[in-house]
Amino acid sequence: MKRPKLRKGSKRLTCHKRYKIQRKVREHKRKLRKEAKKRGNKKPRKDPGVPSAAPFKEEVLREAEQRKQRLEELKQKQKLARQKEFEKKRKLEAKKDATKPKKEPEGKESTVKLKTKSSKQLDKNSAKSFCRELKKVIEASDIVLEVLDARDPLGCRCPQIEQIITKSGEKKKLVLVLNKIDLVPRENLEQWLCYLKNELPAVAFKSSMQLQDRSTEKLTKKRRHKDMSVSNMCFGKECLLKLLRKHCKTQEKAIKVGVIGFPNVGKSSIINSLKEARVCNVGPLRGVTKCMQTVHIDKQIVILDSPSIVVSPSNSTLALALRSLTDVGESRNLLDAVNAVLKHCSKQHVMLCYNIPDFRNSLEFLTLLAQKRGMLKKGGVPDTEGAAKLLLYDLTGAKISYHSRPPMSQNLSSHLTKETVAEMQKGFNSEELEKDNMNTINAVKYPNLASSLLFQFSGMTNGATEETALEEEMSEQDDLETSENENDVANDQESAKEEAAGEEENNIQVDNKTSNQKTKVKDTTLKRQLAGGDPNTLSFNLDKTVDEDDSYDFNIDYA
């Protein structure tokens, strides 16, 4: 016989290999049998049952059922006995715990404290936590740098915080830092420096915009080309560090420098430019810094970054729109904020800045801006909310060049006196400061005065301290509760009125029905009496009630 042909890729097993495989299979089966013997046959044998031809089959089955019932009853009894024993033990343990001295109030206090701490830690975005962190920075620092936007220096000053620093009595120094000087015309910057130096020492500063993390800087050090353009360079750093180091020498110790200011003023960017690395988080959104952060510049200077100052709601709509802690996207009255912005600046400058035709009101301006920037919703509807946010982002960020004029009068602010001004300026050389500021002014490139928007700002922005922030939060909650209660009361009153109206309508319908019934009954009685011809019964039946009229009258013949 011919052997069958093998397929491609298949191999024929030799006799030796086949024998090996068979031996392994035998050994494996032998092992399984040995293990089965050791374990024993644990498989339950099937009950063959009672054969049908067996005598007394019914009695045998009945006995088997009775046996099963007894076993189930025994199991239930045992279960109940176990439960009783467990209950006894639990009662004994409870009695022992009751005899021991109680320490519940201390535990409760500790739990309450832990809960309050956790709630405090969770509410990091609240105004109260921001005020608390700001207070920590002011208390811990020897010099406080109040960062001002050069486009609106007076609007970025907070009289309440300045008053707290000047009246602390711990020889704290307050220094004003004019940031974003590259967005203001040179003449305007010089005017503001002349105005501010009469009250407090002022430093002109321009922070660098593009600073990377140290980790990314190490990786891309060899590859990247270092951008040395004017926008990425920092100006005023040497002047500020020189001022701080001189104060450090006079104090003969390492100093802590606190950096405070309103949101989007450039506090964290100043610290990054002094450290020459991105140590603090920076972004266009407001309230990025939420707690105190320490940054060591060198062995002698430690800088404390703080969250922004909380704006009090008593300020104008423009101040609330530009300096509020909440992000622009969260503000409810966007149209009011844009209205206030357009009122405080010239119309022609805005049209030139955004390249927009003439507009009559703020809503038309927003529609034109949305169409110009391609901000459209479904169906080609212009996104006015997005356009409003864009305008406010441009104003708070570093995109639009605008400026404000300093006050004509050189009088001191209401919260400052001549004594406090002299104390703040003690230890600083004003002439050297002027020279250093002039060097920074000469190095920076400025926009043209004609191309810069002119704003008319009202004055200083009032800030909220920890207590006022608490009161404001409580008042807001009370207002919400009162409004909710008023709404509930109004709804209850409306529902009550509706119910009353419904009841009146039902009563009117019932009265109408009864009156109709009365008239019908009277008409029938009159007809009957007239048919009978009895005058006495006629007068008597007219005075009767409805119930009596419905009753059977024996004097009338109903045939």
CA distance 268 to 278: 9
What whole-number distance in Å separates Cα of residue 445 and Cα of residue 183?
Answer: 9
Radius of gyration of the chain (CA): 46
What does each C-alpha distance from 143 to 75, 235, 465 come to in angstroms?
A: 82, 21, 20
CATH architecture of 317-402: Orthogonal Bundle (1.10)
3-class DSSP assignment, residue 136: helix
502 or 118: which leads in pLDDT: 502
CA 381 remoteness from chain centre: 29
Q: 470: burial class by Cβ within 10 Å (0-12, 13-18, 19+)?
A: middle
User: What residue type is 284 in one-letter code?
Assistant: P
Decide if 127-209+232-313+409-448 and 317-402 have a common fold.
Answer: no
Of 118, 231, 249, whose CA–CA distance to 180 is shortest? 231
Rounded mean pLDDT, 500-504: 57
Which amino acid is residue 97, in one-letter code? Answer: D
Q: Is 388 helix (H, G, I), strand (E, B) or coil?
A: helix
Could you report the per-residue pLDDT of 148-177, keeping only the tens digit for each?
Answer: 999 989 889 998 888 888 888 768 889 999
Tens of pLDDT along 444-455?
Answer: 888 888 888 888
41-50 tens-digit pLDDT: 666 667 677 7
Report the alpha-carbon distance of residue 175 to residue 271 in Å, rounded: 15
Site of tokens 């830092």: 177
Q: Which secondary structure element, helix H or strand E, spans residue 204, and what is its range?
A: strand 202-204
Contact 328, 391 (CB under 8 A): no
Residue 500 in tokens? 């009353």
Q: What is the pLDDT, as a whole number, of residue 491?
A: 57
Q: Where are the domains of the chain?
A: 127-209+232-313+409-448, 317-402
In this structure, the strands spanning 293-296 and 301-305 are: antiparallel
Cβ-Cβ contacts under 8 Å for 40 (sequence gap 6 or more): none
The enclosing H or E element of 508 equals helix 466-532
Q: How many CB atoms lie within 10 A of CB 149?
A: 25
The answer on pLDDT for 138 being more than 80 is yes
- Rounded to two decimals, what is the model's pTM? 0.61
pLDDT above 80: residue 221 = no
The CA distance from 136 to 305, in Å, is 11
CA distance 493 to 496: 5
Sheet containing 301-305: which strands, arranged edge to edge? 202-204, 173-179, 143-149, 255-260, 301-305, 293-296
Cα separation values, 518 from 141, 259, 552, Å: 95, 91, 16
Check pLDDT > 60 for residue 37.
Answer: yes
Query: How, if at all, do strands 173-179 and 143-149 pair?
Result: parallel
Greatest Cα-to-Cα distance within the chain, rounded to the nearest angstrom: 142
pLDDT of residue 313: 84
Cα angle value 239/241/246 (rounded, 5°): 95
Q: Determine how many CB atoms are found less than 10 A away from the CB of residue 57.
A: 13
Among 476, 449, 396, which residue's Cα sits nearest to residue 180? 396
**pLDDT of 340-361, one tens digit each?**
888 888 888 888 888 899 988 8
255-268 pLDDT tens trace? 899 999 998 888 88
pLDDT, tens digit, 9 for 90 and up, residues 280-339: 878 767 777 778 888 898 888 999 988 888 888 888 888 888 887 665 555 457 888 888
Please report the pLDDT score of residue 102 as a whole number: 54
Task: Transcribe 179-199 into DSSP letters.
Answer: E-GGGS-HHHHHHHHHHHTTT
For the beta carbon of residue 156, count every other beta carbon within 10 angstroms: 25
The answer to whether 291 and 307 have CB atoms below 8 angstroms apart is yes
DSSP track, 448-471: -TTTSEEE---SPPPB--HHHHHH
What burial class does residue 406 get, using C-beta atoms within 10 Å of its C-beta: 0-12 exposed, 13-18 middle, 19+ buried? middle
Q: What is the pLDDT of residue 317?
A: 83
pLDDT tens readout for residues 230-246: 457 888 889 999 999 88
Could you give the count of Cα atoms lying within 13 Å of 202 in the half-sphere of its Cβ? 23
CATH class of the domain defined by 127-209+232-313+409-448:
alpha beta
Q: From CA 390, how far away is CA 558, in angstroms rounded? A: 94
Structural contact between residues 150 and 184, judged by C-beta atoms closer than 8 angstroms: yes
DSSP strand pairing (293-296 vs 173-179): unpaired
CB 305 within 8 A of CB 280: yes
Question: In 3D, which of 259, 266, 153, 241 has the Cα closest to residue 199?
Answer: 153
- Which pLDDT belongs to residue 130? 82
The share of the chain scoring above pLDDT 90, in percent, equals 14
CA-CA distance, 423 to 441, in Å (whole number)? 27
- Assess whether pLDDT exceeds 90 at residue 476: no
